[in-house]
């Protein structure tokens, strides 16, 4: 059994083999370890570790799995001293990560990043017009985030003020959309095109109006923004009930009866969503209460369908035509599902037995959808219970499984 004994020489040889294997393994991961250490230390702002790695000749431009370098991470997290150390070690200021972002872009992602970081990158000749995978530039990022000092610095460094991203949004549009007043002022002072659009007609003014940024809207109007660009700022502001913006636009002579792509007016948009103060302001500005959309609908019709009682009453007071018909013959009364709205329309002399092009009446629609209280009110106000549609159907014939509505109709003398 001597062949099973391990001699001292064999032990020594085994130990050497293990040590060689360990050193080889260490050497194989050394570069990767240094790379990861460099990026991680930069993200944490660990200046001593960064200096030690640089002294050990670690690759200053090493990337992590996302293509991010130490300079990007330090810039993103606002670690100025680390940024400066990396720049002094000749870190590539314009290398891009897997999303096309640069260190300068990374520095503009968070409001906590000191301006001095951006200044250091600019002094190191960072490319101010580099674009990421969405075609965004540093100026767009600064503008969209409202970093006005950075916006000015980038403009001073000859950033392209009219560059647009993959959505054709410019820096001014991005600043306006998010309501960043000082950034907007800086861009306007640098002669940004106030009427540039995204290809769908949206401008800085329409974006600011849509989102209710009154002060930005005032600034853009003062800079001669086109208040009637399509889609109009007034329509978008009215749709969202931004009363102060609506008033600014009206004062700037916005066309109160301008139409959107579907023919809807500002009054229709405000009426549908029940923005009472906006509706009142538009009516006071002379909005046509009987204007028609592409389908023939009116403000009263959309307000009735949406159950906006107060708006319905306001429109009736402003002499809206309660018997106007859509292209298919439907009236406001036929579209109403709220009994209080029905009452208001009937009090204003809505024709209870009017028929649309298919011969349906308001009672038939109420029966079809199971609006029991509406059916009762219509019957109490003279609705013909046995009127027939063009295809011979009566209100009773369209009730389906709305058994309560069926009972009301039968009690009123309905016939199959």
* Domain spans of the chain, in order of start: 31-127, 227-349, 352-416
Q: Is the pLDDT of residue 218 over 90?
A: yes
Tens-digit pLDDT profile for residues 78-127: 999 999 999 999 999 999 999 999 999 999 999 999 999 999 999 999 99
Q: What per-residue confidence (pLDDT) applies to 54?
A: 96
- What 3-state class would DSSP assign to 45? coil
Residue with tokens 């540093």: 138
User: In whole angstroms, what is the distance from residue 152 CA to residue 281 CA?
Assistant: 38
Q: What per-residue confidence (pLDDT) applies to 12?
A: 40
Q: What per-residue confidence (pLDDT) applies to 11?
A: 38
Q: What per-residue confidence (pLDDT) applies to 31?
A: 57
Q: What per-residue confidence (pLDDT) applies to 32?
A: 60
Of residues 308, 284, 288, the one with CA closest to residue 298: 288
User: In whole angstroms, what is the distance from residue 43 CA to residue 71 CA?
Assistant: 9
Q: Is the pLDDT of residue 393 over 60?
A: yes
Of residues 93, 82, 99, 97, the one with CA closest to residue 41: 82
User: In whole angstroms, what is the distance from residue 210 CA to residue 232 CA?
Assistant: 10
Q: How confident is the model at residue 231 (pLDDT cuts 50, 70, 90)?
A: confident
The pLDDT of 57-76, averaged and rounded, is 95
The pLDDT of 6-14, averaged and rounded, is 41
Question: Is residue 271 within 8 Å of 315, Cβ to Cβ?
Answer: yes
Q: What per-residue confidence (pLDDT) applies to 162?
A: 98
Tens-digit pLDDT profile for residues 11-52: 344 443 433 333 333 344 455 666 689 999 999 999 999 999
Q: What is the CATH number of domain 31-127?
A: 1.25.40.20
Question: Is residue 356 within 8 Å of 330, Cβ to Cβ?
Answer: yes
Q: What per-residue confidence (pLDDT) applies to 30?
A: 55
- Taking each helix axis from N to C end, the angle separating 148-156 and 115-123, rounded to the nearest 10 degrees, works out to 10
Q: What per-residue confidence (pLDDT) applies to 36?
A: 84
Q: What per-residue confidence (pLDDT) applies to 261?
A: 86
Q: What per-residue confidence (pLDDT) applies to 17?
A: 42
Q: Which helix (H) or strand (E) holds 161?
A: none
Question: Is residue 88 within 8 Å of 55, Cβ to Cβ?
Answer: no
Residue with tokens 């028929």: 355
CB atoms within 10 A of CB 215: 15
The architecture that CATH gives domain 352-416 is Alpha Horseshoe (1.25)
**What percent of the chain has a predicted confidence (pLDDT) above 70?**
92
Of residues 336, 324, 247, the one with CA closest to residue 293: 324
Beta bridge partners of 63: 69
Pick the CATH number of 227-349 from 3.30.950.10, 3.60.15.10, 1.10.3720.10, 1.25.40.20: 1.25.40.20
Better pLDDT: 242 or 10: 242
Q: What per-residue confidence (pLDDT) applies to 415?
A: 85
Distances from the Cα of 152 to the Cαs of 130, 138, 171, 215, 384, in angstroms? 17, 12, 12, 20, 71
Question: Is residue 66 within 8 Å of 57, Cβ to Cβ?
Answer: no
Better pLDDT: 228 or 9: 228
């Amino acid at each position: 059994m001597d062949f099973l004994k391990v001699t001292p020489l064999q032990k020594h040889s085994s130990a050497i083999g293990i040590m060689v294997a360990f050193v080889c393994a260490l050497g194989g991961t050394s570069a990767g370890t240094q790379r990861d250490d460099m990026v991680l230390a930069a993200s944490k702002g660990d200046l001593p570790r960064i200096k030690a790695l640089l002294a050990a000749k670690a690759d200053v431009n090493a990337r992590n799995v996302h293509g991010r370098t130490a300079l990007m991470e330090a810039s993103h997290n606002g670690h100025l001293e680390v940024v400066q150390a990396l720049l002094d070690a000749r870190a590539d200021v314009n290398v891009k990560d897997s999303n096309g972002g640069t260190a300068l872009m990374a520095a503009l992602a968070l409001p906590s990043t000191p301006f001095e970081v951006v200044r250091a990158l600019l002094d190191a000749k960072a490319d101010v017009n580099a674009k990421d995978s969405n075609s965004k530039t540093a100026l767009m990022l600064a503008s969209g985030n409202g970093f006005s000092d950075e916006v000015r610095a980038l403009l001073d460094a000859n950033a392209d003020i009219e560059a647009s991203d993959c959505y054709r949004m410019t820096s001014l549009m991005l600043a306006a959309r998010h309501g960043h007043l000082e950034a907007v002022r800086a861009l306007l002072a640098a002669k940004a095109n106030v009427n540039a659009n995204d290809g769908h007609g949206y401008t800085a003014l329409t974006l600011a109006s849509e989102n209710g940024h009154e002060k930005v809207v005032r600034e853009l109007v003062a800079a001669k923004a086109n208040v009637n660009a399509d889609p109009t700022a007034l329509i978008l502001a009215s749709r969202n009930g931004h009363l102060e913006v609506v008033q600014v636009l009206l004062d700037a002579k916005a066309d109160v009866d301008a139409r959107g792509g579907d023919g809807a007016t500002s009054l229709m948009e405000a009426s549908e969503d029940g923005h009472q103060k906006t509706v009142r302001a538009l009516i006071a500005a002379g909005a046509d209460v009987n204007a028609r959309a592409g389908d023939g609908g009116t403000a009263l019709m959309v307000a009735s369908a949406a159950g906006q009682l107060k708006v319905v009453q306001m429109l009736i007071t402003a002499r809206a035509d309660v018997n106007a018909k859509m292209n298919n013959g439907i009236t406001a009364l036929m579209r109403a599902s709220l009994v209080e709205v029905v009452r208001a329309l009937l009090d204003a002399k809505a024709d209870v037995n009017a028929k649309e092009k298919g011969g349906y009446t308001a009672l038939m629609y109420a029966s079809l959808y199971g609006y029991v209280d509406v059916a009762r009110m219509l019957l109490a106000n003279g609705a013909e219970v046995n009127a027939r549609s063009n295809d011979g159907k009566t209100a009773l014939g369209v009730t389906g499984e709305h058994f309560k509505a069926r009972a009301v109709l039968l009690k009123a003398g309905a016939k199959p």
